[in-house]
Amino acid sequence: VIKWHYQTTPHDGWDFDGVNEFIPFDATINGKPMKLGAKADRNGYFFVLDRTNGKFVSANRFVMQTTWASGYDKNGKPIVIPAGRPGAPSATEKGSTVFSSPSFLGGKNWMPMAYSKDTGLFYIPSNDWGMDIWNEPIAYKKGAAYLGAGFTIKPIAEDHIGALRAMDPKTGKIVWEYKNKAPLWGGVLSTAGNLVFTGTPEGYLKAFDAKTGKELWKFQTGSGVVGSPVTWEQDGEQFVAVMSGWGGAVPLWGGEVAKSFKDINQGGSLWVFKLAK
């Protein structure tokens, strides 16, 4: 039985299917202890909901820009920018092209964010990019993508696409960020030892201070990291492991972005590290 639902992008015209994780946490909002849940959506907004009933609490932007909406009202409805919606096609002609940010690959996509009970922060593997997008007459061709739209992914900043961002769910403020030249397409792990781990397409597994965002350690795995780091305890020692092997949606759909990182080494390996005591 479905107890409640909340739709992050009503009448979605940008392919912002928000199928990514909803993480439960507890916090005090305006002096009231609440059972909450958080979600960093493909549409570029970080949502906090009352997980007991689905009631909207807040939505705050966690990317550089959102051209499709200027924010959310008190009822949890997006304030849509009409000029940012791609035009409807006719039977024979494509609709008007618009520039939209984030791109359909998302402010955050499948890669899971992490939450730390110790800091009270969420750690979001985000991307700052946009797209030219247009709708077109749907034509089925066996073996070809059946989209009804066309798009070209484009960078929107000179110094980065990926950005690991620490978000405070109580204020909606970004506490710190680490910018990465290539898109971030791997998951994030936080530990009780005040560490945050994530990988990069450039091949590095990196560890950051969970409170400050200072980069503390990195290791070159030889291929782009798309996997999610995991940790466990064994024989009194703590280990961290990650899969390394470039691929996925960015090289397949990335347009101008994909061209920038076409020479990343292919590979498929599991790397395991032991944390020093």
> Cα dihedral angle (129, 135, 136, 141), rounded to 10 degrees?
60
CA neighbor of 58 nearest in space, from 81, 43, 36, 25: 36
Count H helices and E strands in the chain, helices first: 2, 20
Q: Are 134 and 97 in contact (CB under 8 A)?
A: yes
DSSP secondary structure of 82-102: GGGSPPPP-SSS----EEESS
Structure-block tokens of residue 104: 């359909």
Amino acid at 220: Q
Whether residue 10 has a cis bond before it, omega within 30° of 0:
no
Q: Which of 15, 73, 132, 168 is catalytic?
A: 15
Q: Check if 15 is active-site.
A: yes
Rg (CA), the chain: 20
CA neighbor of 273 nearest in space, from 228, 226, 248, 238: 238
Degrees, nearest 5: CA angle 255-258-259: 90
Could you list the active site residues?
Answer: 15
